[in-house]
Amino acid sequence: RAQLEQTRSELSQHLAAQRDSERLMEDLDGTVSALQDRQDSLDREKRELNAKVGHMEVQLDQTRKELEGKLELEREWHSSDQRSRTELADLQQQLAAKVDALGQTQTEAYDARSQVAKLEASCAELEKGVEERAQ
């Protein structure tokens, strides 16, 4: 009878441990699912940032070409009369504004690249976490 009680107690403990294990597995499945959702979200953000970086690079190239064209015009206008010199001063102001805008665009492109790198690192950490939890 004592052996039966002990066996019954052991069986009860085993069943409780099995239920705890099943709850933990359900929690782990939920965590893995949430991590995968977050990773998908980070992947989307990364694609969006890469698209922004590409767009900024196109803008930088267009601005550079515009600036080169304006500089060529500036060289030609230096030999013209006083009216042309007045127009040149206006163009130089516009050029300075474009150069400032180019600097800002370059900074934004660098910041976007930095953000992409951070997102990639975050994705790697999430993947590592998912692998560790899956084990």
What is the token pair recorded at 3?
Answer: 């052996």
Residue with tokens 């206006």: 90
What is the per-residue pLDDT for 15?
A: 94
Q: What single DSSP character describes residue 112?
A: H
CB atoms within 10 A of CB 63: 16
Residue with tokens 């300075």: 96
What is the per-residue pLDDT for 77?
A: 61
Q: Are 119 and 38 in contact (CB under 8 A)?
A: no
Q: What single DSSP character describes residue 47?
A: H
How confident is the model over 52-111, as pLDDT tens digits? 999 999 998 999 999 999 888 877 766 666 677 688 789 899 989 988 888 888 888 888
- Say which amino acid occupies 31: T
